[in-house]
Amino acid sequence: MVVAGWAALTWLFVDMGHPLAQLTMPETRAWHAENLVAITIMWAVMMAAMMLPSALPMIGLYAATQRSEARAVPRAAPVALFTLVYLGLWAATGVPMYFASVALSALSPTTRAYGVAVVLVVSGLFQVSPLKLVCLRHCRSPLGFLLGHWRAGWRGSLALGWSHAVYCLGCCWALMLVLVAAGSMGLIWVLLVAAMVAAEKVLPGGEWIARATGVALVVLGVAVAVRPALALTLRGVAPVM
């Protein structure tokens, strides 16, 4: 799923003449169901590509717990349900992200630049907040999460998948907002945010990586506020001379 997701994203960004790609471009986003469906599909694929790699330790440990349980259904079924619930919640966030992106694109260039600056600063401050660190600790400790939230059976798989997705969303929503507002969901920003998410969740010192990212986002937000033209550069739009 991860490989397929990245392949689809790469193809979509390379072939910007494709109708689906055209619907995802900022200047063509409007309040239409067709655009909402296109963006939500793209967002779901993007979340599978970006979030599954950092969720693999949790999914793998949950799969390991199923091997010792006797059951009539295949052992992979609860793991698949856990994963689909996790991805489902992330896919659903594409709807508010779409409306946020449309609202931002409807602003005048100067107002939009200051909006981007606010998003960067708020996201940076969240990166160093206690709530961020609480959610990050749950994501970084699969064993601790399972010991504290374990539920058996199908309902258990649903509850565990939902709980993990909520903590993951609480951990990463600010970075996703940066992806939409500052990066306009460009491929470079997708790669960058995916790397940030994986680094803070998997690498040693992840909490310090999150803090460093937060400081960098605040500095970038202040820079955009001082020089609004930087917002166009971040969103991949050449400034008008």
In a domain, 8, yes or no: yes
DSSP labels for 179-223? Answer: HHHTTTT-HHHHHHHHHHHHHHHHSTTHHHHHHHHHHHHHHHHHH
pLDDT bracket for residue 13 (50, 70, 90): confident
In a domain, 179, yes or no: yes
In a domain, 12, yes or no: yes
User: Which domain, by its residues, includes 132?
Assistant: 2-234
Q: Which residues contact 58 (CB under 8 A, 6 or more apart)?
A: 139, 142, 145, 146, 164
In a domain, 45, yes or no: yes
Report pLDDT for 23: 47
- 98 has pLDDT over 90: no
pLDDT bracket for residue 117 (50, 70, 90): very high
Residue 223 phi/psi, 5-degree rounding, is -60, -40
Q: How many domains does the chain have?
A: 1
C-alpha angle 213-3-211 in degrees, rounded to nearest 5: 10
In a domain, 39, yes or no: yes
- 17 has pLDDT over 60: no
Q: Which of 164, 153, 175, 145 is nearest to 87 (CA)?
A: 164
In a domain, 17, yes or no: yes
In a domain, 240, yes or no: no
User: pTM of the predicted model, to two decimals?
Assistant: 0.82
In a domain, 154, yes or no: yes
pLDDT bracket for residue 69 (50, 70, 90): low
